[in-house]
Amino acid sequence: MTMVDLSVDLGFIKLKNPVLAASGTFGYGLEFKPFFNLDMIGGFVVKGLYFNPREGNPPPRLVETPSGLINSVGLQGIGVEAFCREILPQLDQLDTAIIANVCGEEEEEYARVAEYLGRFKGLDALELNISCPNVREGGKCPAQDAEATYRTVRKVKQVASLPIITKLSPNVTDIVSVALAAEEAGSEGISLVNTFLAMAIELKTRKPKLGNILGGLSGPAIKPIALRMVWQVAQAVKIPVIGLGGIFTAEDALEFMVAGAAAVQVGTANFIDPEACLKIIEGMKKWAEENGINRLSEITGSLKI
C-alpha cells in the first residue's frame, strides 16, 4: 500500500494535513502539549486576541444542549502583547502551522492587532474573527454585513504582513455575499462557520441559563447547517475554504472536504477529547487508504451531483 499524501497547499500556507484546531477551543496551544506532539496536526488557531487583556462575559458561560454546547465566553484573554511576549516564544519551536485569531472592537483595533502580530516571527497566518456572537449587543458582528466585512478585511490588509483568513458567521441570510466581500477585499482564505447565535432557558426560574443571555451554539448539532454553508461558499469563491462546525469524526471532516473545504477545523471536540484532532487525522488517513486515494486533497469539492 502506498503512503497517503495528507498535505494540503492553501497557496499562502502549506499544511502537513488538513486538520487544524479551531480558535477558542485550543487555548493558546500550550494547554494541549501534555497530551500529544502538536507537530502531528496540520496546525492550530489560538484563542482570539484583542489588543488589551479582556475579562469576557459574566458566568455561567456554558450550557449543554442535545449534541451541542452553547458558550458565552466573550473572548476573555490575555491580549496581544502578553501573547507575543509570553506564549509565542514557546510556540516557536513547533513544526506546525500557527494561526493567530484577530479580534477588535472596531476596524481600527483589528488593524492594530494584525500589525502588532506581524512584528513577531512564529506565526503563519491571521484569522480575522469578525464573527464572534458573544461580544456585541444582540450577538451582532461585522460578518453579518458584506460591506462591514469588506471594510474590515481591507483595513487589515493594508497593515498586515501575514496572510489573512476571514472567519465568517452563520448568523446571516446570505453567507455567499459576505464570503465574496472578504475575497474581494483581499482575504487569502475563508473559514466558516463560527457559532450559531442561541439561547437556553431554565424553565423553573424562567431565567436565561447563560450570564450573557445569548451565546454561540457549537458541536454536532450544527454540522449539517455548517456543511451546507461551506458547500455554498466553496462554489462561489476562488480562495481556499476552511470548513468547520461540529466536526467530531474523520467522516465529518471528509464530508466538509467533499463539500469544497481545502482544510477543516476541529473545535468543540477538543473539549471532550484532547486528542480529537489526532484521532480525526488517523481516521482520514485510514479512509483514504481504504478508498485508494493517494492524495487526500483530491477529494476537495468532489461532491457528485
Chain residues that interact with another protein, rule: CB under 8 A:
24-27, 31-32, 34-35, 47, 55-56, 58-64, 66-69, 71, 73, 76-77, 219-220, 248, 268, 270-275
Nearer to another protein, 61 or 167 (CB): 61
Nearer to another protein, 25 or 187 (CB): 25
259 in Cβ contact with 243 (< 8 Å): yes
CB of 273 to another protein, least distance (A): 8
CB of 296 to another protein, least distance (A): 25
Nearer to another protein, 58 or 89 (CB): 58
CB of 220 to another protein, least distance (A): 5
Give the integer Cα–Cα distance in Å for 162 and 187.
Answer: 11
Residue 141 annotated among the catalytic residues of the structure: no
298 in Cβ contact with 8 (< 8 Å): no
- Separation in Å, CA 195 to CA 23, 41, 169, 214, 289: 11, 23, 7, 11, 33
Nearer to another protein, 31 or 298 (CB): 31
Nearest C-alpha neighbor of 20 from the set 301, 299, 287, 281: 281
How do beta strands 241-244 and 189-192 pair?
Answer: parallel
CB of 25 to another protein, least distance (A): 7
CB of 67 to another protein, least distance (A): 4
CA 145 to chain centroid, in Å, comes to: 19
Active-site amino acid positions: 132
